[in-house]
Amino acid sequence: MTGKLYGIGTGPGDPELMTLKALRIIKNCDVIAVPDSDPDKCIAYTTAKHAVPEIIEKRLLCVPFMMSGTLEKRMQCRIENAETIARVLDSGSDTAFLTIGDPTIYTTFGYVAEILMKRGYETEFINGVPSFCAAAARMNKMLCIGTEGLEIIPGAAEPEKKTRVYMKNERNLEQLLAELRSEGADAQIVERCCLDGERVFSSISDLPDDIGYFNIIIVNEKES
């Protein structure tokens, strides 16, 4: 039986900000993967070690990533790391890939997850506290309130494309969906995420008429 790969967000560095779910999965996994050649220099690993001391008894898999160099070389590194993890999964070992912050936001885990999911491996993202949320809390500051929007911009380069997230859409839902259709965009929608009655829709065309207030719409813009 093939193992399962978990991408575990360890948060911004405070062990107390790790989620109960992250701690449980780390304890249950056979192998811990870290995106560094030296785990003691990996913030995600050292954070998790403080929260789950028994992690040092786990089998450790180091999969360092190239952060510079040509895109071709970085892509090759990601493929090689994915193949290394695949061999562990093929042995039947559930694997926890540790990453700082949240695995859905600018993480190396996303690259290997995409490769392995296309190859049929079971993968799950386990959320962590993003650094920008932790920074706002540190300053006792709201990031957005009322109808204000929030834009996250990478500092390294001008984004090639953007992901838009619409929250709590009810009164303006039909108008929003009409605008998305008119621009040729599609979206994924989660209603009541992590709550009783959760529903996931892979396309706007799948949406029922009774979609509720607690919905998240994620639109991935096409590259220009």
**pLDDT confidence of residue 211:** 82
pTM equals: 0.86
CATH number attached to the domain at 5-132: 3.40.1010.10
Over range 44-57, report the average pLDDT.
96
Confidence tier at 223 by pLDDT (50, 70, 90):
low
Residue 224's pLDDT band (cuts 50, 70, 90): very low
Share of the chain above pLDDT 70, in %: 95
Q: What residue ranges do the domains of the chain occupy?
A: 5-132, 163-220
Mean per-residue pLDDT over the chain, rounded: 90
The pLDDT, as a whole number, for residue 135 is 87
Question: How many angstroms from the chain centroid is the CA of residue 22?
Answer: 13
Tell me, what's the pLDDT at 181? 85
Q: Mean pLDDT lowest for which of 100-104, 111-115, 117-121, 216-220? A: 216-220
Three-class DSSP category at 77: helix
Torsion of CA 139, 41, 124, 74, to 10 degrees: 110
If pLDDT is split at 50, 70 and 90, which confidence band does 149 have? Answer: confident
pLDDT band per the 50, 70, 90 thresholds, residue 156: low
Residue 96 reports pLDDT greater than 90: yes
Give the mean model confidence (pLDDT) for residues 39-61. Answer: 95
Q: Check: CB of residue 7 under 8 Å from CB of residue 124.
A: yes
Measure the CA–CA gap between 80 and 92, rounded to whole angstroms.
Answer: 19
Q: 15: closest CA among 108, 109, 97, 128?
A: 128
